[in-house]
Amino acid sequence: MAASGIAVRGPRSLLRQIREAMAGGGPAQAKLDMVVRTIAISMVAEVCSIYLRRASGDLELFATEGLSRDAVHVTRMKPGEGLVGETMRLGRPLNLSDAASHPAFSYRPETGEDPYHAFLAVPLLRGGRTIGVLVVQNRTERVYDEEEVEDLQIIAMVLAEMVSAGELLGLTELKDVEIAPHKPERLKGTRFAEGLAYGVAVLHEQPVAPEQLLSDDALAEEARLKWAIEALQTQIDEMLEGQHGLVGASYEVLETYRMFAHDRGWNRSLQEAVRSGLTAEAAVERVRSEHRARLGQARDPYLRERLHDLEDLNDRLLRHLSGDVHAVRVLPEDAILIARNLGPADLLEYDRTKLKGILLEEGSAASHAGIVARALDIPCVGRLAGLRDRVSEGDPVVVDAETAEAWLRPRSDVVKALKARMEVRAQRKAEFVRIRDTPAVTKDGDKVTLLMNAGLAVDLDILGETGAEGIGLFRTEFQFMVAEEMPRLEAQTALYEKVLEAADGMPVTFRTLDLGGDKLLPYMELEREDNPALGWRAIRMGLDRPALLRMQIRALIKAARGRELRIMFPLVANVDEFRAARAFVDQEVAWALKRGRPEPARLDVGAMIEAPSLLWHLDALLPMTDFVSVGTNDLMQYLFAADRGNPRVSDRYDPLSPAALRALKTIQQACADTGTPVSVCGEMAGRPLEAFALLALGFDRLSMPPAGIGPVKQMVLSCDREAARRNVEALLKTSAGSLRGEIETLARKLYVAI
């Protein structure tokens, strides 16, 4: 059989014919029949059929030219059933010379398709979802050539947009067609920040939808596309040069953007789509759909990550085409932010009075987004597989961070139950406000110091509202992560002065830069590491780049100006590292005194205990320190050799296990024996049950996210510490994998508020 006419002329004339058919009057079914007839004639095909996806998930024959008309709205098949169902399942074209010989072939006698051998089906893709399948068939055995496949894909993309916009079918015909997800769904994920929320979905970096699909002037569209690509390339090049730093993005992500933005294949695909008769925006959507079909089902996480990079790149290109590059999103009331992932500064760009919850497809509780969400007291659930394909802008959404679940388009009974729980939480918060200024003293008279973790300017605004007695951990790296370039001495000094002034005499412990690992800077090029959490990070980076560490220490000393100063070094793994870091402090104090500058009224220097190796160096380390702080997040990760960002293992080991609690007891006892002040500043400190166990082990200084202070103080006020100590010490002798159940039972037996 000769090459089809459309392969010679390109799809532009066919698209024009389809548009003319749609402009005419008449019933919706008649229009759809005209469309399949037009496609069949233009492609020299003896059959052309359109199948659309019903709400049940089944594909239904909606129109055909060449098959039996009696089969229309009768023939149905499930995903994976028959060649049409297989095309929907795969999400990519199926091109066969002999349809009946394919293992997925399913004979449907009512269609009368017996004599047709050649078969080409392409999915109707919209928003990454298959909403239907477009099929052409011929009697002669042949394989449709590459141009024919590409042309039919363009037609399918245009038809998908027309169906979704209601141009092909009216509301009556579309009643049960699944254009977008609409059924209630419940997704299970991982809790990043506690709380409950109900609101409407807002897509972070929402894609710009093309308003016009077909073009009358291909040359003009090609010129627009070329200009937009060049503008995008320039923007990304400038980001990498540090002139317009991308907040929260790593250098490697930007390098990937640049690689794709300059990729000739990507550029060529876009240009060819425009030359076929599409607008520049529609061309971007067509190429996006091709990438989704090719990479969306990949098992390799690297390939899936590349798809996300391409998605972001396409969104940026669409924004250049629309002139919406720097638009600021205006949130509706009760907004629930939906994103693949977020950088540490992304949340700060939204109106926090309207942002009620966050749902993420990726991330981890220790990710930047999780840390910021906890600091802002915004409920957040992450690791929600397939989230972005299951939710649409404006969908009602429930964030249940207590059970680590997301409810999309929830039923009324789910919403009712959630609102009742939200009311209970509101009452508890009112109780926390009532006890805010009450000293945290146990029932048997032991004073417990509750401190706040911070790292953002917004944290300082709520310090007085929390009832915290100071800042037990100030993460200095956040200033570096949200900056467009390396903060200079003056900028660092200004921030540290602001923190000390906000504390108004309360103690503040500044942790020096904890960079590396998952905390990368857009303006600092670092080598890729196979195990970044175990690699060149934290104090290791500071000791190897002494100018960076010394500049920060100098800024801290300058900011103190006669006030008390506490400096803490992260991820110290041996005594030599602490000794070297402390020497830098001594040198900077001497440098300030030599120039007649005021020294701190008191200077305490401490270490974070995160590396298990320190448990066997405490006798040598503690006499050298003024205090230590236990970072339970990393300590537990390294103790169990379990990546806390990996959902397969992060919940496998419990910090309330005998092994973990014995390690903590070892630290507490060594500090008690040497008179070294010790605090706990990991996630354990901010959870009432875990904090109850810490009190029983002898810890009496806990630093936590702001939202944890109220619940933990309520626990402290209800706790008989001596009774807790006796019972928990007895439990430590067991070999159970976890003592969580036993400790919770004990707390309830002692009437402790957990």
**Domain spans, the chain:** 5-164, 185-206+329-425, 218-322, 470-606
Are the CB atoms for 130 and 98 separated by under 8 Å?
A: no
Catalytic residue among 368, 380, 671, 719: 368
- Nearest residue to 542 via CA among 502, 573, 508, 509: 573
Tally: H helices and E strands in the chain: 28, 22
Q: How far apart are CA 656 and CA 298, in angstroms?
A: 37
| pLDDT of 2 | 39
Q: Tokens for 69?
A: 């008309």
| pLDDT of 62 | 92
The architecture CATH gives domain 470-606: Alpha-Beta Barrel (3.20)
380 is catalytic: no
Query: What number of CA atoms fall less than 13 Å from residue 20's CA on the CB side?
Result: 7
681 is catalytic: yes
pLDDT in tens, 565-593: 999 999 999 999 999 999 999 999 999 99
Query: Distance of CA 673 to CAs 445, 653, 669, 681, Å?
Result: 22, 29, 6, 21
Catalytic residue among 380, 671, 681, 719: 681
- Nearest residue to 39 via CA among 16, 62, 55: 16
* Candidate CATH numbers 3.90.1570.10, 3.50.30.10, 1.20.120.530, 2.60.40.1180; the one for domain 185-206+329-425: 3.50.30.10
- Nearest residue to 691 via CA among 471, 472, 450: 450
For 5-164, which CATH class? alpha beta
Q: Where are the beta strands (DSSP E) in 528-682?
A: 564-569, 602-609, 627-630, 678-680
CA 572 to chain centre: 30
| pLDDT of 429 | 84
Under-70 pLDDT residues of the chain: 1-12, 21-25, 55, 127-128, 165-182, 205-211, 238-260, 291-312, 324-329, 343-349, 364-369, 457-458, 482-484, 516-530, 532-533, 645, 647
Residue 695 pairs in a beta bridge with: none
Q: Tokens for 592?
A: 């300030």
Q: What proportion of the chain, given as a percentage, has pLDDT over 70?
A: 81
- Nearest residue to 206 via CA among 355, 315, 333: 315
| pLDDT of 525 | 62
The domain covering 218-322 belongs, at the CATH homologous superfamily level, to PtsI, HPr-binding domain (1.10.274.10)
Residue type present at position 127:
G
Q: Where are the beta strands (DSSP E) in 18-138?
A: 47-53, 59-65, 76-77, 94-96, 118-126, 129-138
Are the CB atoms for 518 and 537 separated by under 8 Å?
A: no
230 contact partners, CB below 8 Å, separation of at least 6: none
CA 319 to chain centre: 21
